[in-house]
Structure 1
């Protein structure tokens, strides 16, 4: 595909997203319908769509509108590319620029420049203080790809070497002894021996740091209460914990048995009625705004509303109260979010401790792209 054809595909996909389609589903749909597109083309279109979504407000200002075409026009102007070389009317490319488009557009200002909704920008300015500008800027860029070494099967150095043999370059990070940051060859990852043999799993640095901060000994019983794909369950199992996973939506765990088999981990799944009994550690990685991961899920920040956030906060409080019922005396409840908002983090912990005086806060970690990778929060609460 030519650069013009890639731009035309991105415009089509962005228009569908504007109409309400989830970004990932729409990209998958386009790829399946575009057999002519090679892997490089698909990757380029994906990158163009996600970069535009991350910077939607600034691109809209620069392009003079919210349509897919205006957003791509804004992206070209931001990149310093002459739009006439891409919007050129060539075969499979977008129609040529109009006189109106040539005149449209202006530099973004305020929350437009930070590429956040106004109400979120105000909240994050209050919550992040002097770090707001730098964090907002980081959220406008592409997230790094992080791997967690499965220490039950390999050292980080061994995993790094085996990945390199398959063309995946990764470097360790001193902040977490399981972490490898992929610097090149990420699209070869799932064909690599290290991936096939369960030596590594995809997991962001911040989540790895949070799991590593939890005190758990081999043989301890751990419950991953909102397991999803099971990344944290796998990380705890690699440390020798006896892990039970549960999620209110069981379909989210459909890949967990396969992932556990690859990692050599024994993870029990609780039944449909939910987990029973008491555990040494209960992990509640609750549904949240995902504001710390908006580099990866860029369309989510444009869908979030104050009403939806308030509903999430009620759900978080309910899950914390449910999780407390499964913590043995002396055990730990680990409350986690991938949010940057205090209302989902510190405020939830404060409310929980007020309602549950038999718990105390042992430690908390609040991470941003400036200190780790994704925005992430952990509070370890001891009963």
Structure 2
């Protein structure tokens, strides 16, 4: 593909993402599936440009508004190409281009973008020599942070707000988790390096591998064989906190696509029983295919009508470990899913916060005396994390927090004393929160006296 054709492909994807109410990664995946003729290099460069545009969404919109232009995909792309600040290595379309250079790419040729209008050319002239950032930009624009999230994140990070927001604007790494049922980290590291990839062991997750580049996933045979799964190191650590043992009974209450379920079942060496629950039957069915590919046979899927499904009441106090990876604002995943920050609205928290509380309370009923409940989110907002745990403990005094140095000694230094708290700037992971909540053991039955009453 020529650079002009890749520009047109990117424009098509931008229009599709704006049109449908679906995450960008799902839209991109479906778009490429319908165009299997595209090579890995073209796919990579289209994705690079697309995600650069998504990561600069607010700033591009600010520049367009400043010059009285509509915030449309084509205008966003033109502004990106003109503004100096989008430079990169390789053949990806970068910023700081002259109007004539842009005109050469918008040629109107076959599969190329339509010819520039005089109005568009005038915009390029106005933006020439400008950088993507501007002193007049408010913080929420410069840091690509929705207005509703600025104050909660400032309260969370204080003086570190700027560095954390800057980290969220970088591209997320490719993290893999080795499936110990099928292989070892050492074997997979050698296999990845034999493919010419720069791979290294993750610093915290015992089965994690970080790949330094963005290879085509289709070129990784270990993904197809189930020897590795794609999973952010932070997500791997949340599953680690469950500390599931072979032979135990475990519930992943909000299993979704099953990433943490896979890690938990592998911890158990295919022994015991893991139940993956979710309100989306479709997601569970897709997860079941991942379970089969991974060679894990100790997992059962259980669709729920809601967090208060009758199944919960029937299995009260039946499980050793319960994970609640609660639905949340997803602020911790913004560098991986840059479009997500603009889909979530402040009103969404009004729905999410009571939903999280109901889910946590319902899942707690499944924990047997002496069992472990892990509450986790991929959010960095205190309202969804520490505040939820505090409210739960106040309402359910039979549970208490297990400090991290007891629950996971290997994570000392990577977290708050009482809970796991990971951020992109400090740990180079997605933003994750997790608290380990222990239920009190049942009181011992009184021993019968050896003497006659």
CA contact (8 A) 1:59 1:73 kept: no
CA contact (8 A) 1:284 1:323 kept: yes
Where does residue 129 of structure 1 map in the other structure?
Answer: 158
- Greater displacement, 25-34 / 204-213: 25-34
Deviations 1:311-370 (A, max 9, x none): 011111110011011000111110010001111111111111111111111131111012
1:7 offset after TM fit, Å?
2.1
1:123 offset after TM fit, Å?
2.0
Where does residue 301 of structure 2 map in the other structure?
Answer: 269
Partner SS for 1:374:
coil
1:70 offset after TM fit, Å?
2.5
Find the aligned partners of 1:16 and 1:229 in 2 and give their Cα distance.
Answer: 23
- Greater displacement, 7-16 / 146-155: 7-16
Please tell me the root mean square deviation across aligned C-alpha atoms, in Å: 2.3
- Greater displacement, 165-174 / 277-286: 165-174
Partner SS for 1:382:
strand
CA contact (8 A) 2:280 2:303 kept: no
Find the aligned partners of 2:251 and 2:362 in 1 and give their Cα distance.
Answer: 12
Where does residue 210 of structure 1 map in the other structure?
Answer: 238
Find the aligned partners of 2:205 and 2:4 in 1 and give their Cα distance.
Answer: 43
CA contact (8 A) 2:9 2:46 kept: yes
Find the aligned partners of 1:181 and 1:48 in 2 and give their Cα distance.
Answer: 23
CA contact (8 A) 2:278 2:303 kept: no
Find the aligned partners of 1:270 and 1:134 in 2 and give their Cα distance.
Answer: 41
Find the aligned partners of 2:215 and 2:123 in 1 and give their Cα distance.
Answer: 41
Q: Does 1:120 align with 2:149?
A: yes
1:55 offset after TM fit, Å?
1.6
Find the aligned partners of 1:213 and 1:83 in 2 and give their Cα distance.
Answer: 53
Where does residue 377 of structure 1 map in the other structure?
Answer: 433
CA contact (8 A) 2:175 2:210 kept: yes
Q: Does 1:103 align with 2:126?
A: yes
Find the aligned partners of 2:239 and 2:123 in 1 and give their Cα distance.
Answer: 53
Partner SS for 2:247:
coil
Deviations 1:190-240 (A, max 9, x none): 443422332211110001122223333221211001111111111111111
- Greater displacement, 368-377 / 264-273: 264-273
Partner SS for 2:176:
strand
1:143-154 alignment runs, 5 A limit: 143-154=172-183
CA contact (8 A) 1:87 1:94 kept: no
Where does residue 275 of structure 2 map in the other structure?
Answer: 244
Q: Does 1:82 align with 2:97?
A: yes
Where does residue 58 of structure 2 map in the other structure?
Answer: 57
Where does residue 449 of structure 2 map in the other structure?
Answer: none
Where does residue 176 of structure 1 map in the other structure?
Answer: 205
Where does residue 329 of structure 1 map in the other structure?
Answer: 369
Find the aligned partners of 1:365 and 1:378 in 2 and give their Cα distance.
Answer: 5
Find the aligned partners of 2:6 and 2:21 in 1 and give their Cα distance.
Answer: 19
Q: 1:264 to 1:26 in 2, by over 3 A?
A: closer
Q: 1:290 to 1:259 in 2, by over 3 A?
A: same
Find the aligned partners of 2:211 and 2:72 in 1 and give their Cα distance.
Answer: 34
Query: What 5-or-longer segments of structure 2 have no aligned partner?
Result: 87-94, 305-309, 404-418, 440-453
Find the aligned partners of 1:287 and 1:337 in 2 and give their Cα distance.
Answer: 7
Partner SS for 1:98:
helix
Where does residue 316 of structure 1 map in the other structure?
Answer: 356
Q: Does 1:345 align with 2:385?
A: yes
Where does residue 260 of structure 2 map in the other structure?
Answer: 232
Find the aligned partners of 1:12 and 1:350 in 2 and give their Cα distance.
Answer: 46
Question: What is the total number of aligned residue pairs between the two structures?
Answer: 382
